[in-house]
Amino acid sequence: AQSVSQHNHHVILSEAASLELGCNYSYGGTVNLFWYVQYPGQHLQLLLKYFSGDPLVKGIKGFEAEFIKSKFSFNLRKPSVQWSDTAEYFCAARGGYGGSQGNLIFGKGTKLSVKP
């Protein structure tokens, strides 16, 4: 079955530290990949997405993610985190290209706590 795995349940960093959150997916064919962020008490917001082309995707707030097809991975990175990045981060995937009605499969989320 299709699935998305996020290996880190809770990550604690100090401000200015670098961040990398792991995401692996299991889809056999074309895949669309997303990272969403949920700040405390808020709804999910899209950080970035990958559909095709350049495997290094830049999103909002200084986040980026790299699609590595051979590793079935789509890890989220940020060179220097801030206290305001404290949130829960969800990786999501959808099989198929563009217009298919395939639904998003979400990972279980990674909580990021940034210490000031």
**What residues contact 69, with CB distance under 8 A and at least 6 apart?**
55
Q: How far is the CB of 58 from another protein (least distance, A)?
A: 14
> Residue 115 to residues 13, 16, 67, 79, 87: CA-CA distances in angstroms?
6, 10, 29, 16, 12
Binding mask 92-111 for another protein (x = CB under 8 A): -----xxx-x-xx-xxxx--
Q: Does 59 bind another protein (CB under 8 A)?
A: no
| C-alpha span between 57 and 110 (Å, rounded) | 20
User: Of residues 12-41, which lie at the interface with another protein (CB under 8 A)?
Assistant: 32, 34, 36
Q: Which residues bind another protein (CB under 8 A)?
A: 6, 9, 32, 34, 36, 42-46, 49, 51-53, 90, 97-99, 101, 103-104, 106-109
